[in-house]
Amino acid sequence: MTAMRELAAGLLVMAALPVWGQADAAAAQGKAETARDLVRDTIYNELHDRERDSHWEYRSACVSSTRNIVREQVETDEGPVFRILEQDGAPLDAEQQEREEERLDAYVRDPAQIGRVLRAHEEDEARLAEVMEMLPRAFLFEYEGQPAGDTARIEFRPDPKFAPTGYEARIVHALTGTMIVNQRLKRMIDMRGTLEERVDFGYGILGSVEKGGTFEIHRRQVSAEHWKTDLVDVHIQGRVLMLKTIGKDQREARSDFRPVPGGTTPAEAKNLLEEAAQTTQAELETAPAGARAAKP
């Protein structure tokens, strides 16, 4: 996954345990918890997340300007392993399935390739931790109306006193938008934002990201203790170093989350993916005519 793709997903990594801290002390004194307090506690939970202690299998539908695929993905200690099930709105034909099987066979037998994927994943995680740590300091927060039950809507906008450094921090700091937070569990449910101004690097000589870019990330609870990202929707345009075009126009929806046993190896993940492919093929063969066309 690319850094921006991981940024969208990583912004909503949740923790297994809530943190109360100063917010509880304020409540005990009869004071309302500020929006900044709530965001700070939520981000604290993100940074102390225990999600890495669990792995999941899920279905992923990815649509972008260059691809339209449905894949099954399994998380392991050695990084994610996936299998493409559909392409351009249709199931893989026999030849495509054979190529996908050959790709997976080669992958699980190649420790060097597995290691590269794992290192890239870990490097993205480290960068994202830096971005998440910056969020409570980078924005001004205020409640949008009164919290309803466990849910609070919070508007955010750039804090002019914050001085971002680096490409990712500059882009994130230019966002204005809304967060939806479960204020009881201190978990983020949804975050969406818009780039309200063009972001220039080196006065535009080194590159820029255009005004009007948007993103949305949504989280869902998949067990008593775990939450996962089930929607990433990103649309930005720009360029860096005058030659490289940034084009991020994609939507990924994830569904059907199932826990994976701890210690699952890439080879074992491949077996799980084969089972998912067989189940999908059986469902397609028994589906009524036209059912796929009607599927949203």
pLDDT digits over 78-99, tens only?
999 999 999 999 999 999 999 9
Name the residue with higher pLDDT: 290 or 147.
147
pLDDT at 181: 95
Residue indicated by tokens 């030659």: 243
Range of the domain at 182: 3-294
Query: What's the whole-number mean pLDDT along residues 89-113?
Result: 94
Whole-angstrom distance, CA of residue 158 vs CA of residue 175? 7
Domain tally, the chain: 1
Torsion angle in degrees (nearest 10) through CA of 261, 267, 271, 273: 80
Instruction: Tell which wins on pLDDT, 288 or 225.
Output: 225
- What is the gyration radius of the CA atoms in the chain, in angstroms? 21
Given a cut of 60, whether residue 242 has pLDDT beyond it is: no
- For the chain, what percent of residues have pLDDT higher than 90? 48
Could you tell me if 219 and 190 are in contact, meaning their C-beta atoms sit under 8 angstroms apart? yes
Confidence of residue 287 (pLDDT cuts 50, 70, 90): low
> What is the pLDDT, as a whole number, of residue 196?
86
Query: What average pLDDT does range 63-68 have in this prediction?
Result: 90
Centre a 10 Å sphere on the Cβ of residue 58 and count the other Cβ atoms it contains: 21
Q: Taking the model in full, what pTM does it have?
A: 0.79
Q: CA–CA separation, 182 vs 52, rounded Å?
A: 21
Give the pLDDT of residue 136: 92
Checking if the pLDDT of 31 tops 50, the result is: no
Going from the C-alpha of 256 to that of each of 67, 253, 286, 291, the distances in angstroms are 22, 11, 20, 19
| CA distance linking residue 108 with residue 226, whole number of Å | 28
